[in-house]
Homo-oligomer: A and B are copies of this chain.
Amino acid sequence: MSNRGTMAEASPRQQRRKARTRQALIDAAVALIAAGRAEQATIQEITDQADVGFGTFYNYFETKEQLFELASTEVLEHWGRVLDASAESITDPVEVFTAKFRLSGRVGRTHPDLARFLTELGLDALARPDGLGPRARRDLAHAFDAGRLRAASAQVALGAVAGALISLLELQLSTPSGVDDAVVDQLTAGLLRMMGLSDTEADDMVLRPLPEARF
């Protein structure tokens, strides 16, 4: 009876503590992935970084891979949701794609950790069922369906878009001064020309007001 009472009292606090510990482990994994050390990192390193005991790890995850997979999903889903929210009020599907690419192309300077995360994943990010790939695919499909963009293959166009974004972020991380907003926007216009927009349309598109992204 007293035992049940104790559990009932402690439970919400315990749950909060467990949730915090779990999140600390996920945050540690996110930081290690961003530092490009996901493969080498030991569980000891992860628990040190999360400031929890070594054994604690196994109360939450079975393997390192399970934690890193979850951490990847969390980061990419966050990025994707921020972009979705930022473009919510835009109706033209080409402008939706344009705004999201312009915002993502600025992440190397505004949120280097996020950028490093994507450059570490490389094109594999596209194959994931979460995060940026499916959203970019959906946004481009809308623009293709509306007859506003064209490509011999949407998948290949997306590969070019992703390769461009990753290279852009790599360049920003290595030489931040070399990639200002104008470079990002010129590149975006280039990708729009690749997908069938005229010079004028593409240039106009990247001059539109850019919504705010709340990462």
Contact = CB atoms under 8 A, between A and B. Distances in A.
Contacts of A141: none
Interface residues on A, range: 20 to 34
Contact of A166 (B163, B182, B193): B163
Interface of A is mostly: helix
A155 B182 contact: no
A167 B156 contact: yes
Copies of this chain in its oligomeric complex: 2
Contacts of A167: 123, 126, 155-156, 158-160, 162-163
Contacts of A151: 186-187, 190
A173 to B, nearest CB: 12
Contacts of A195: 190
A152 B122 contact: no
